[in-house]
Structure 1
Amino acid sequence: MFSVFSRWWPRRSPSSPQISADLWDAVWRSLPFLHWMSPTEQALLRERSRELLGLKQINGAAGLVLNDHIRLSIALQAALPILHRGCEAYRNWAEIVVYPGDFIIPRQEVDENGVVHEYEETLLGEAWIEGPVLVAWFEPEDGDRPEGINVLIHEFVHTLDMGNGKVDGVPTLPAEISYKEWQTTFAAAFTDFAQRLEADPGWAEESPLDPYGAENPGEFLAVMSEHFFETPAALARLYPDVYRLLARYFGLDPLGPSSPGASQP
């Protein structure tokens, strides 16, 4: 989920901490969906995680006390979408706020008659333009999360989507990917996904992709990015063009060059 509310948080001066081998190994073992990465990619991920720990504040909320394992796990997963782009891609925000599970945000809406309606919304994550990024943290013993769901990747991709000032499913693109190619590929897949769900509500239960992606193009990008890292085979099977484009955008290919959705030269 995203929010267009803006909030400024002062930047920290870069001071990247060292990451012990024992801590890195423990966090790495806890994230088996990343074990396809090459040693070179792992080394870069470790360095990028270290940079983020120095550049961004990671603070607990609602009584959650953060330890080094949680901080590194969050920084590592935040580093994934920007592995080859660098921390400058996250320049517009400075803080990650971590809750112990889902959390409640008060809302206000004004209807067409000018009446203000107040309510509360329960969330797993939310990204605001200029920060902070709000995320829920679940310990492994809290129970298995649904396959393909990764609230951290979801919210950090939202911040990339906000890089051009809008949440429209089109992040700031590298020179090798044109706006037309991105928009055409994602618009076709989003339309197909939404139509499938509308035509057959039961497909939502059978689909390996999270139906929340049909909310709007911004959510579609965030959800498909979750699946790109967490369940890449499912994404490549249903939307190979989206998989190929995300592989080019992230500079990563979880399935390898022989996959049906593998990036093309």
Structure 2
Amino acid sequence: MFGWLRRRLPPPQIPESLWRGVLRDYPFLAARSPAERERLREMSARFLQDKEFNGVHGLEITDETALAIAAQAVLPVLHLGLSWYDDFVGIVVHPGEALARRTATDEAGVVHQYDEVLAGEAMDRGPVMLSWSDVKAGGRLAHEGYNLVIHEFAHKLDLRDGAADGCPPLRSAHGRQAWLTVLREDYDRFREQVVMAERFGAEAPWLNAYGATDHGEFFAVACEAYFVNRERFAREFPRLLALFDGFFQPAA
């Protein structure tokens, strides 16, 4: 109720001590330029104003909890704008991993039900679910290219056109085809590395093997690494680096 009024009010100022704590806990945020950090702070305040956080299973959503999630979620759209996240409001935070009941139908038409363990989930035009223990790990696991918040919010970008295919909405069909060509070629190379490691004991690739699931998951896993460990990502995926730079950091 009165959501239109809420959006028109100026966002609250983030206390300095609270902001310094987030930069301390997530060094890849502190590593941004002064101008980017200031923009990140302003957009995080607006994000906190527009979204609704809900803790479950006894988890209390503190100011620190909400800001840690907001600042990391804003990073992918720092130069794109918060309108990319205007298709949802709710963010559900579990203390740890959650069980999701799934239903699948096999080729014979038999319906199977099973439980899937999730650290996070982004629903098309719906809420985002996050494991707080995994959110907190984002600061210390940046060297591995791991970040749950960026992963799930990358899915939200990918899903803007309704297809989880690893390509967010682009302005032209030509741009989309060029994007998919690079992404799919790098995905195929990465998937082969994962298969070789799992089946034949070859050296495991740097990125999380979950990225070999499909193109959408590869995009989300690659986005994690791109934002939290750009130097290593540049060595591993130079073509994706150029592709992502053109999208996430468009020229003024």
SS of aligned partner of 1:172: coil
Instruction: Tell me how far apart the structure 2 counterparts of residues 55 and 174 of structure 1 sit (CA, whole Å).
Output: 26
Larger helix percent = 2
Aligned position for 2:165: 168
TM score, norm. by length of structure 1: 0.84
Identity %: 39
For the pair 1:40 / 2:35, whether they are aligned, the reply is yes
Conservation of the 8 A alpha-carbon contact between 1:11 and 1:94: no
Q: Secondary structure at the match of 1:58?
A: strand
**Residue in 1 that maps onto 2:47:** 52
Following superposition, the deviation at residue 171 of structure 1 comes to 0.3
Moved segments of 4+, more than 4 Å = 143-146
After the TM superposition, which residues 254-265 of structure 1 pair with which residues of structure 2 at under 5 Å, given as runs?
none
Q: Establish whether residue 181 from structure 1 lines up as the match of residue 149 from structure 2.
A: no
Check the 8 A contact 1:34/1:229 in 2, yes or no. no
Q: Is the 8 A contact 1:204 1:211 kept in 2?
A: no
Is the CA contact (8 Å cut-off) linking 1:96 and 1:135 kept in structure 2? yes
| SS of structure 1 residue aligned to 2:170 | coil
Unaligned runs of 5+ in 2: none
Q: Cα deviation per residue 1:10-30 (whole Å; 9 max; x = unaligned)? A: 967425222111111111111
| Distance in 2 of aligned mates of 1:135 and 1:228 | 20
Match of 2:224 among 223, 226, 229: 226
CA gap 1:34/1:204 in 2 versus in 1, 3 angstroms: farther
Q: Distance in 2 between matches of 1:74 and 1:203?
A: 36
- Answer whether contact 1:161 1:168 (CA < 8 A) is retained: yes
Greater CA drift, 32-41 or 126-135: 32-41
Normalising by structure 2, report the TM-score.
0.88
Within the alignment, does 1:90 sit opposite 2:88 as a pair? no
In structure 2, what is the equivalent of residue 63 of structure 1? 58
- Which among 151, 159, 173 is matched to residue 154 of structure 1? 151
CA RMSD of aligned residues (A): 2.6
Residues 64-99 of structure 1 deviation map (CA, whole Å, 9 limit, x = unaligned): 101001100100011011111111101111111011
Please give the secondary structure, in 2, of the residue aligned with 1:112: coil
| Structure 1: runs of 5+ lacking an equivalent | 1-9, 253-262
Q: Give how far 1:41 is off.
A: 0.4
Q: Does residue 194 of structure 2 align to residue 194 of structure 1? A: no
Q: How many residues align?
A: 243
Describe the superposition over 1:125-148 as per-residue Cα deviations: whole angstroms up to 9, x where unpaired.
00101111001112859x965822
Q: C-alpha offsets along residues 143-176 of structure 1, whole Å, 9 cap, x if unaligned?
A: 965822111000000000000111000101257x
